[in-house]
Amino acid sequence: MSLKLVLSGATGRMGTALRRLIEADSELELVGGIDRADAAERVGGVRVAPLASSADLIRQADAVIDFSAPAFLGSLLREHSESLAGKALLVGTTGLGDAERSLLQAQAERGPVLVAANFSVAVNLLLILAEQAARVLGPEYDVEIVEAHHRRKEDAPSGTALALGEAVARGRSVELGSVRRDGRSGRPGARPAGEIGFHAIRGGDLIGEHDVMFIGELDRLTLSHHAADRSLFAAGALRAARWLVGRPAGQYSMQDVLGLG
Q: Which residues bind ligand NAD (CB under 6 A)?
A: 9, 11-15, 35-36, 39, 67-69, 71-72, 92-95, 116-119, 233
Among 80, 87, 149, 210, the active-site one is 149
Q: How many CA within 13 A on the CB side of residue 24?
A: 10
Residue 12 or 165: the one with the smaller Cβ distance to ligand NAD is 12
Q: Which of 235, 210, 65, 66 is nearest to 127 (CA)?
A: 210
- The CA-to-CA distance between both ends of the chain, in Å, stands at 30
CA-only gyration radius of the chain, Å = 19
Distance between CA 13 and CA 8 in Å, rounded? 12
Strand partners, 139: none
149 is catalytic: yes
Q: Which is nearer to ligand NAD, 115 or 179 (CB)?
A: 115
DSSP class of residue 180 equals E
Q: How far is the CB of 14 from ligand NAD (least distance, A)?
A: 3
Query: In the complex, what is the shortest distance from the CB of residue 3 to ligand NAD, in angstroms, rounded to a whole number?
Result: 19
User: Which ranges constitute the DSSP H helices of 201-247?
Assistant: 231-244
Whether 96 contacts 123, CB under 8 Å: no
Q: Which of 182, 196, 189, 178 is nearest to 139 (CA)?
A: 196
Do the beta carbons of residue 88 and residue 65 sit within 8 Å? no
Nearest approach, Cβ of residue 167 and ligand NAD (Å): 15
Least Å from the CB of residue 72 to ligand NAD: 3
- How long, in residues, is the chain? 261
Nearer to ligand NAD, 37 or 106 (CB): 37
Q: What is the nearest approach in angstroms of ligand NAD to the Cβ of residue 54?
A: 12
Q: How far is CA 5 from the centre of its chain?
A: 18
247 φ, ψ to 5°? Answer: -80, 155
Is 210 in the active site?
no
CB of 153 vs ligand NAD, minimal distance in Å: 6
Separation of alpha carbons 251 and 253, rounded Å = 7
Q: Which is nearer to ligand NAD, 35 or 144 (CB)?
A: 35
Active-site residue, from 4, 87, 150, 153 = 153
Nearer to ligand NAD, 16 or 214 (CB): 16
Identify which of residues 9 and 165 has a Cβ nearer to ligand NAD in the complex.
9
Catalytic residues: 149, 153
